[in-house]
Structure 1
Amino acid sequence: MERRIITCAITGSIHTPSMSPYLPYRPEDIAAQAIEAAEAGATILHLHARDPRTGRPSGDPEHYAAFLPRIAAGCDAVINLTTGGSAVMTLEERLRAALQFCPEMCSLNMGTMNFALYPMAEKPREWLFEWEEPFLRGSDDLVFKNTPRDIAGILEHLGCERGARFEFECYDIGHLYMLRHFVDRGLVAPPYFIQFVFGVLGGMGADPDTLDHMIALADKLFGNDYLFSVLAAGRHQIPMARRALERGGHVRVGLEDNLMIAKGELAQSNAAQVEQVRRIIAEMGLAVATPDEARVMLELKGADKVAV
């Protein structure tokens, strides 16, 4: 039976606490929801940290240390730490936790891009924290910076030196060519795990035809040396996940990407979204890859080599 990897992105840095009471930002809640997602079938846990006093995204290793050991002790899912952090962080702030904890996997955005979140500020709501609304409204002038020099440094320090493999986040066609560039430079070895990202304002729109084009281009650039996964923001999450599964790919869900479980209904946990996509996988006659199966598929170094 064909195996499909489910990545679950637990909290992220895009949504703010006022948008959903179920978005975890305290370490105990991040840990609990991550473990529940793993129990529901998540193969990989994509993790960000937040300041528990304010709910604001954080790159502080102390904030990661408040939940990482609990997650590692509570499940065997693959731990995947962000190197993106938040677009308002410096590169050094974004990398501190990954450099310290040496995870099996890290995410890696394959280019500099606009990261526009300001439409989220238009919905009337009571703001829990004073930073939320200015952060969202100010994103009409927000650029996420990941230059070729930045990417090379991440690949060197986390990949070559610490043995991490990467979730290569590709928001546009040019990001695939950038990945090919680093393959040619010898900084990346197969198998490549490519995450096609749809629905972020500044990147690709959530269009099935665009996914088909990205697959065709990745086939041309990487042949049989890659696996792909799909994440789509908001209401596009499940339709694009279905399309990915139909095309032989893997999927990412989680409250980082989508706060809803159905139209007009907030997801009450990350596990609820994992269970939803797991049912779809079963209906298609497929099976969810276990963490150990994913470690073989992606040639990961193993949980015993993570400094948690």
Structure 2
Amino acid sequence: MPPILITCAITGSIHTPSMSPYLPVTPEEIAAQAVEAAEAGAAILHLHARDPETGQPSADPAHFRAFLPRIAAATDAVLNLSTGGSAVMSLEERLAAPMEARPEMCSLNMGTMNFALYPMAERVEEWIHDWEKPFLEGSDDLVFRNTPRDIARILTALGRERGARFEFECYDVGHLYMLRHFADRGLVAPPFFIQFVFGVLGGIGADPENLIHMKRIADKLFGSDYAFSVLAAGRYQMPFAAKAAAMGGHVRVGLEDSLTIGPGELAQSNAQQVAKVRRIVEELGRTPASPDEAREILGLKGAAATAI
């Protein structure tokens, strides 16, 4: 089997500060946890920004600039900037930072979908910030928008014009067909790096048979032109990582996707999750890829060609 790519999603836009004291919020925390995750074995760092005063998800390029150079100076890991931001942001807001930074890699959600977070609000007893509870509860009427026109714009502006490659986030089977559609239009070329996403309410459920089905459909649509990685939310994170590694795929962990390290136990850092998944994949006979190996596998342009 090829080297396994370990991606770590450092902070995201789903979890809120009241859910875990270990969720990185400030630029210093995001940078420190990102570097530690890379040192633990993550070849790719999936990055969002937050307002350091409130902990709210942010699309402000200044908030990204506050940590991106620090990470780049301390590690050669691939820096992967989100184009998803948060479902409450406009497309222009979501693209502002990656358009400026011109990263090697960006994430790209392959469709419009319900993104329901409201069950999380029931688990929090005390709130640190006033925005958190309404943000979560309001997601019962929230749609994450990524229309075909939006996707085409992202592929053109960040891919064709700025040389980024993509982590294609596929939350359901239909998203695989959407990716095939854009490949047929010539807006994206192989190798495709497809992130199967399980367990988000509004997307495909975290059932083992769904992983097998997603892999079977991807094989049908893309043949040998793709590599797949697996992200599973919450308690499903590590079991699905083990399944993906055993199937020849790659893995993603991080506090964006799960706040725990085991049943009922909060992870104290992103690096703790990376170290755990590294032990799992190595026990299965897989060798974690270095950042340079990740660049070769994914056909990336290299850190020197970015504006970070």
The normalised TM-score by structure 2 is: 0.99
Rounded to whole Å, the distance in 2 between the matches of 1:20 and 1:33 is 14
Rounded to whole Å, the distance in 2 between the matches of 1:124 and 1:105 is 34
Q: What are the equivalent positions in structure 2 for 1:29-68 lying under 5 Å apart?
A: 29-68=29-68
1:251 aligned partner = 251
- Of 162-171 and 239-248, deviating more is 239-248
Is this contact kept in 1: 2:113–2:144, CA < 8 A?
yes
Rounded to whole Å, the distance in 2 between the matches of 1:193 and 1:124 is 35
Rounded to whole Å, the distance in 2 between the matches of 1:288 and 1:123 is 35
Q: What are the equivalent positions in structure 2 for 1:124-135 lying under 5 Å apart?
A: 124-135=124-135
Q: What are the equivalent positions in structure 2 for 1:68-87 lying under 5 Å apart?
A: 68-87=68-87
Rounded to whole Å, the distance in 2 between the matches of 1:120 and 1:187 is 37
Structure 1 stretches lacking a partner, 5+ long: none
Rounded to whole Å, the distance in 1 between the matches of 2:74 and 2:163 is 23
Structure 1 residue 156 corresponds to structure 2 residue 186: no
How much has 1:208 moved relative to structure 2? Answer: 1.0
2:137 aligned partner = 137
Amino acid in the other structure paired with 2:101: F
- 1:113-153 deviations in whole A, cap 9, x for unaligned? 00000000001421111000000000000100000000000
Q: Which consecutive segments of 4 or more residues in structure 1 shift more than 4 A?
A: none
- 1:12-53 deviations in whole A, cap 9, x for unaligned? 000000000000010000000000000000010000000001
Aligned residues: 308
Q: What are the equivalent positions in structure 2 for 1:166-181 lying under 5 Å apart?
A: 166-181=166-181
2:274 aligned partner = 274
Is this contact kept in 1: 2:26–2:52, CA < 8 A?
yes
User: Once the two structures are aligned, what percentage of the paired residues are identical?
Assistant: 74
Rounded to whole Å, the distance in 2 between the matches of 1:153 and 1:17 is 32
Structure 1 residue 184 corresponds to structure 2 residue 208: no
The normalised TM-score by structure 1 is: 0.99
Note closer, same or farther for the CA distance 1:124–1:298 as it changes in structure 2 (3 Å cut): closer
- 1:178-226 deviations in whole A, cap 9, x for unaligned? 0000000000010000000000000010011111011110011000000
Rounded to whole Å, the distance in 2 between the matches of 1:238 and 1:124 is 23
Is this contact kept in 1: 2:18–2:124, CA < 8 A?
no
Structure 2 stretches lacking a partner, 5+ long: none
1:241 aligned partner = 241
Rounded to whole Å, the distance in 2 between the matches of 1:99 and 1:2 is 32
- 1:216-272 deviations in whole A, cap 9, x for unaligned? 100110000000000000000011111111111000000000000011110000000
RMSD: 0.6
